[in-house]
Amino acid sequence: MNQAQIYDVSHLLAGMMLVASFALLYQDRIFAVLNIFAAQAILLAMAVGWDAWTQQRPHLFITAGLALGLKGIIIPVALHKMIVRLGVHRDVEQVVGVGRTLILGLALTSLSLLLVLKITAAAESYTREGLALALAIILLGMLMMITRRNAVTQIVGFMSLENGLILAATGARGMPLVVEVSVAFSVLIALFVFAVFVFRIRERFDSVDIEALQNVRGDTK
Amino acid sequence: MGETLTLLFGQTVQMFLVLLVAPAITGITRRTKACFMRRQGAPVIQPYRDLIKLVRKEAIVAESASWLFRVAPYLIFALAWVAAALVPTFATGLLFSWTGDVIVIIALLGSARFMLALAGMDIGTSFGGIGSSREMMIATLAEPAMLLVVLTMALAAGTTQLPGVADFLIAAPFTVHVSLALALVALVMVALAENARIPIDNPATHLELTMVHEAMVLEYSGRHLAMIEAASQLKLVLYVSLIASLFLPFGIVRVEAGPVAWLGGGAIYLGKIAGAAILLGIWEVSIAKMRVFRVSEFLGGAFVFAFLAILLTFVTREVLK
């Protein structure tokens, strides 16, 4: 297999992750959001696994396995159960409209591509590509956290941001395995904390719409 | 001299080929839909019969119609026909292909749409006006996405000439290009919107408040309606051929290869567009029409796909430079 084909496959997987990020921004049904998130995590696992295989870096297989197991299966299933228990099967409410969100997303993506490709001109092509797309995915995850009002989809935004971080870490050489494993498990812990928090919010305000928290602020009176 | 004659002959064959197959594509799509709905359906040649019947019938023109109303159908038909003649079907390197690139094709289709919208408003009925206004809304959303798709292909192939792009893709080694896949999705979405297919518009009804294309041509009859029907069938063939030549370019021959090779190219082309017509029929029975106010989201999605395609092409070019 030659260099161009190896590049094409990793480009395909990273590109599809970016498309999944846009699908997350666009989608306003909560179960579909979860399915897209799971698909993005599986794509991430495939991208990391492809890197591990083609560049003989076997420790990356562990990262890929963690991505697949934790974020492709466990977290989506847990969030699914959480949504059923919270009873929020209805549409996701957004602060900004879909059109404006997507335009903002395109602007952020263009920005990160132009920025990373410019400042990493000396690095090798895998790193540049991975970093450029990873920064776009991270920014899109942040955008999703801003535009959503539902606490559960905000969690999905955070997790998708973390997918971007792992993609970036794969591109960069020399990330110790210990760090990766601990990051993966801290994400799992974060999920528990979020879950407890969301249930507390619901208990207190009868809603997971974080607009309800506005009333607690001291300055709104 | 002999070569120019071959080129001219090939171009003539192409112009009459698209004209002849256009109603059949519509017929195959309708037949497929009927099969999936467990109806018997009209035969595939029914659109030809309809066109002949319409040409024979008397053309009724409203009292308030101006000259524009009578001229528009012929102009729309001519523009669609010229545009369809520029897209590679069975052979590349035809005589006309050096006179216009893909941006010219978009401009020709845009002019045809402009004439149709004017004709829709000419009589002064409320249906025509609402149809024209919606058509323009769809056009403003679809055209940027279409141009971005075209620019993606042009960036990859280094030319905006469609035959050049097709030749480039035939010659290129087979690889997976995510940007081409995204461009394909965007182009299919634009094609559905531009040809007034489900989920944007329903081509099978005259009696809905949400119709767009049929609302504009409601006042037409006889030979005028025949021209407009033929033009919209040609437009469908144009989009199908465009998608086939950009994304499934195998089997297209060079025009210099001579009439015997054209037969092979022609057979593959007919197979490709018949397959596309069947897929379109399956698509239309399996999806519901969207609300008009969601059209902007659908076409916004197409725009996002096209934009991502061009961004990823840009990344590849930068990184592999």
User: Which whole number is the average pLDDT over A10-29?
Assistant: 89
Q: Is the peptide bond before B88 cis (omega within 30 degrees of 0)?
A: no
Q: How much is the average pLDDT of B193-221? A: 83
More confident residue, B255 or A156: A156
Of A39-48, A189-198, A204-213, where does mean pLDDT reach its minimum?
Answer: A204-213
pLDDT tens for B106-124 read 999 999 999 999 999 998 8
Chain A nearest-CA residue for B318? A117
Q: Check if A117 contacts B (Cβ < 8 Å).
A: yes
pLDDT at residue B45, rounded to an integer: 93
Say what the pLDDT of residue B172 is.
74
A1 Cβ under 8 Å from any chain B Cβ: no
Taking residues A80-107, report their average pLDDT. Answer: 80
Q: Is the pLDDT of residue B226 over 90?
A: yes
By Cβ distance, the residue of A99, A105, A117 closest to B318 is A117
Q: How confident is the model at residue B231 (pLDDT cuts 50, 70, 90)?
A: very high
- pTM comes to 0.89
Interface of A with B in 38-97 (CB under 8 A): none
Q: Phi, psi at residue A55, to the nearest 5°?
A: -110, 15
Under DSSP, the state recorded for A70 is I
State mean pLDDT over A27-48: 90
**Average pLDDT score over residue span B223-249:** 92
Token pair for residue A133? Answer: 């797309």
The residue behind tokens 């420790």 is: A59
Task: Please state the rounded mean pLDDT for residues B225-251.
Answer: 91
Average pLDDT for chain B: 88
The SS3 assignment for B254 reads: strand
B282-319 as b/e, with b when 16 or more CB fall inside 10 Å? Answer: ebbeeeebeebeebbbbbbbbbbbbbbbbbbbbbbebb
Do A82 and A159 meet the contact criterion of CB atoms below 8 Å apart? no
Residue A206 has pLDDT above 90, yes or no: no
Which whole number is the average pLDDT over B307-312? 92
Structure confidence at residue A198 as a pLDDT band (50, 70, 90): confident
Work out how many CB contacts closer than 8 A connect A with B.
61
What mean pLDDT is predicted for residues A67-90? 85
Highest mean pLDDT among A179-193, A199-213, B203-217, B222-236: B222-236
Does position A221 have pLDDT exceeding 60, yes or no?
Answer: no
pLDDT grade for A42, boundaries at 50, 70 and 90: very high
Least confident of B147-151, B261-265, B317-321: B317-321
The alpha-carbon gap from A129 to the nearest alpha carbon of chain B, in Å, equals 7
Mean pLDDT on B157-175: 80
Structure tokens at B100: 């216009």
What integer is the mean pLDDT of B220-230?
93
Give pLDDT tens digits for B45-87: 999 999 999 999 999 998 888 999 999 999 999 999 999 988 8
* Torsion of Cα atoms, A97 then A98 then A99 then A105, to 10°: 110
pLDDT of A150: 79
pLDDT on residue B248: 85
pLDDT tops 70 at residue B307: yes
Q: Taking CB atoms and an 8 Å cutoff, what residues of chain B touch A9?
A: 176
Q: How far is CA B59 from CA A51, A139, B53, B69, B224, in A?
A: 67, 60, 12, 12, 7
Do the Cβ atoms of B304 and A18 come within 8 Å?
no
Say if the ipTM goes beyond 0.90. Answer: no
